[in-house]
Chains A and B, each alone.
Chain A
């Protein structure tokens, strides 16, 4: 069994890593902070070494390094989900310090926007645009909770454990919302948990033993067995919102009727005991005599905890540092989030039939993540500080996500990223500030319909990272509400371009800095000065210039 080998190899490697890490800690404490810096450099350096080795082995030519402006916009969008302010952009571009990139990265990682954006990303990974289950489309409690995990640097394994333990209710505690998607559907929950937290595609094994994958139907139902006793309980209204809790019965098993091809009508299934994936069956304490479950948990009150919680046993197993899938799936996902595609791609299919492009690198990233106590911020910091992340997006290669990471990837902005970046680009917030108004909710702008953004930009890729924007998004860009975001109020970009006393060249510079986070090139300055100068239709021409930069390819993609 190949996966058994991988297990033991991984175990060995893991123990070595742990040892090195403990040793490293002792050193770090004993010697000085500078050692830490040296070690960190070593890690990001080894990322570069591994990727370079791939170029060499495959005779691939890499792109040159990204310019400061390329890096600036890219890292802002990846870490904060929004373009920099014009002041931020100018300050970075004018900074002559050689460490300005790593300094910027450190600053971005400690800014509140980091938590906001990362929570957006993971919330969508878990729930998608149209989550199954009743009430799951309104989940402020979950989103707030997830943001707090990032704000407080809670280790990844800990917050995943909270999701899977699902204690408390969906409004106050947030995390139970994950299971609400799979009410009375333990099989669906099993598919989602293995795919999203472990990078394992178990869905084929739901109906048959897969010919090319190691998973058997009994693995699938053994996994679902951990989840079959869960119930979604309506616990009433909390803080004016509907709240749910996850209850767990003391009895009940998943029934397995054998391969679908052999099923007969009216056939009764055999109960299947919970079994850890690719590992041992769950050892359960005997249920005390006389324990009887209610038919249902009553609404309006928190369900009691069971004598023994299978769900919690599963949560502990999934998130255990020894689980060979968990760290690997997370490390691969983070790599994919920043580098466009996973070392294993798609990121949620770590099957032996879908090998990694850089196996050693994936091992190092996942071991490193586990050794750093599942600190996602550490991993993100290392990746975005690498030279590979900081490659240019220009070159002859036409792939969106180059196979050997030899050039920066093209990623369409999400609906959230586009919208918030447009607000910043058009000076919407500046205008509100100038008029003394309070800032509005993130996606609630007067006269603007957020639902259209979801409809036209909600699924910019096909789930595998392939851009799938078509004609419809251009109908929106050309004729839709984007025009309402180009504020004409005092303090806005439009207002500045129209009324400033400064030279038109300087105004064009501000236009480019504010929308594209870079300074214009000479030809661009010339072109835009000419476009903005005529007075007969200046109002429209200013609007056109802002719209052009807000809707062009350079804005649409993170590259």
Chain B
């Protein structure tokens, strides 16, 4: 299978239309043009052809065991630091591969966010907003799908692999809702049509006849969404091969570290290469209230090798300049080491990292104090963070969507974009 083919060569709805016209025994087709919103801003961002891969560290990875070490301090922990390829920064010894790719990373050591528990933090760091009963905020994946995604692609534009977050597309609508693969990155149950294409087309023709009649009289939004989703499910059949990465895995297994996470990360690269605009890959187990050091020792090296391989792989294929790789969890961990050798939840000062399209490499932004208790310099809130990520992707963070009549900007009002990070 050729994964290097440009995405306009993949089957898209035009070619599907052509094939349907040929095989649907004269059935009249729905008015496709009316199905897709023609939001000019969304169209403009799409042209930029940006992608985003989110590496989600579920439970909250420790900043002290990754990018913000406090060597020799009581909060410092057990691990040593090592030098990096930028010559200036030092990172945890658990990340020898990332240490050699620090020239590609913009690390934020001054995250200061507002939600300290998992559910609140997961919502916050997927949407940029605290959960409220009144507004269903969309996740970053849905936003990237809307503003960077190709509405005509047969592929879903927001894919999740073994990750968290349940806000989904919220107010921007199920058209951008996540498509979750199973935990190995394979297509979920019932993805495969077992009908021969002509039979499927015949069935579709009859169904389409009914849908078109219905749509003429019933204009309500849910029925329209339902038709769109049917269309997307059907078009997925054209691109099933994009999810079949077995042969690729044989080739890249060692490079990505021969782990489940490695396979998910490689799948993310394949999907981006096929044209998917947002892929979220999860790694779980960071909630180390007990045995923080053992926990990180077992998790970080796997992540380190997979993440480094992803950056290399994207770079070698010329994709890194258009793909923003975001590395974060919902929270950081406490400076204080508790009596179970654990670190608890902490959001007053913690770290995230960005790499690739739209951001500078070899940059450490912000600083925590001597013991990592508070941000000493240049705090970055969740609003600032999302504002920066969207800007890096070429999306205006002040772009608004509506909850009823209430305008909701992509990143919360009052945020400031961290210009220093942007390339």
Contact = CB atoms under 8 A, between A and B. Distances in A.
A305 interface: no
Interface stretch (A15-23, A146-154, A238-246, A545-553): A545-553
B260 interface: no
Interface string B162-183: 0000001000001001011000
B207 A548 contact: yes
Contact of B214 (A464, A472, A552): A552
B207 A551 contact: yes
A552 to B, nearest CB: 5
A395 B236 CA distance: 32
Interface stretch (A27-35, A173-181, A474-482): A474-482
B13 interface: no
B202 A471 contact: no
B190 A475 contact: yes
Given A393-B218, A397-B220, A478-B193, 12 more contacts: A201-B133, A349-B133, A397-B219, A412-B222, A467-B222, A468-B168, A471-B177, A474-B230, A480-B190, A523-B213, A548-B210, A559-B223
B234 A478 contact: yes
Contacts of A537: 199
Interface residues of A, number: 51
Contact of B219 (A201, A396, A527, A528): A396
A471 B179 contact: yes
B194 A470 contact: no
Contacts of A468: 168, 174, 177
B44 interface: no
Interface residues of B, number: 43
Contacts of B188: 472, 475
A394 B211 CA distance: 14
B255 interface: no
A544 B136 contact: no
Interface in B123-181: 133, 136, 156, 168, 174, 177, 179-180
Contacts of A412: 222
Nearest to A523: B213
A76 interface: no
Nearest to B231: A474
Contacts of B232: 470-471, 474
B192 interface: yes
A471 B203 contact: no
Interface in B190-239: 190-194, 199, 202-203, 206-207, 209-211, 213-215, 217-227, 229-230, 232-234, 236
Contact of A553 (B193, B206, B214): B214
A297 B174 CA distance: 49
A471 B156 contact: yes
A473 interface: yes
Contacts, number: 129
Given A479-B193, A527-B209, A540-B199, A398 B220 contact: yes
Majority secondary structure of chain B interface residues (helix, strand, loop or mixed): helix
Given A349-B133, A478-B233, A556 B219 contact: no
A110 interface: no
Contacts of B230: 474, 477-478
Contacts of A394: 217-219
By CB atoms of chain B within 10 A, which of A478, A551, A557 has the most? A478
A475 B236 contact: yes
Contact of B223 (A464, A478, A544, A553): A553
Given A475-B233, A478-B193, A557-B223, A527 B206 contact: yes
Contacts of A398: 219-221, 224
A294 B203 CA distance: 68
Nearest to A466: B136
Interface string B1-13: 0000000000000
A372 to B, nearest CB: 31
19 contacts: A394-B217, A394-B219, A396-B219, A398-B220, A398-B221, A400-B222, A462-B136, A468-B177, A469-B225, A470-B232, A474-B232, A475-B191, A478-B234, A479-B191, A527-B209, A547-B207, A549-B210, A552-B211, A559-B218
A422 interface: no
Interface in A473-528: 473-480, 523-524, 527-528
A410 B222 contact: yes
A99 interface: no
Contacts of B222: 400, 410, 412, 467, 557
A553 B192 contact: no
Interface in A36-92: none
Contacts of B221: 398-400, 410, 467
B170 to A, nearest CB: 8
Contacts of A393: 218, 220
Interface in A231-266: none
By CB atoms of chain A within 10 A, which of B190, B203, B211 has the most? B190
Contacts of A551: 207
Interface in A283-329: none
Contacts of B206: 527-528, 531, 544-545, 548
Given A474-B234, A527-B206, A410 B220 contact: yes
Nearest to B225: A467
A548 B218 contact: no
Given A393-B218, A471-B236, A346 B211 contact: no
A345 to B, nearest CB: 10
A55 B227 CA distance: 30
Contacts of B190: 475-476, 478-480
A382 to B, nearest CB: 26
A512 to B, nearest CB: 10
A554 interface: yes
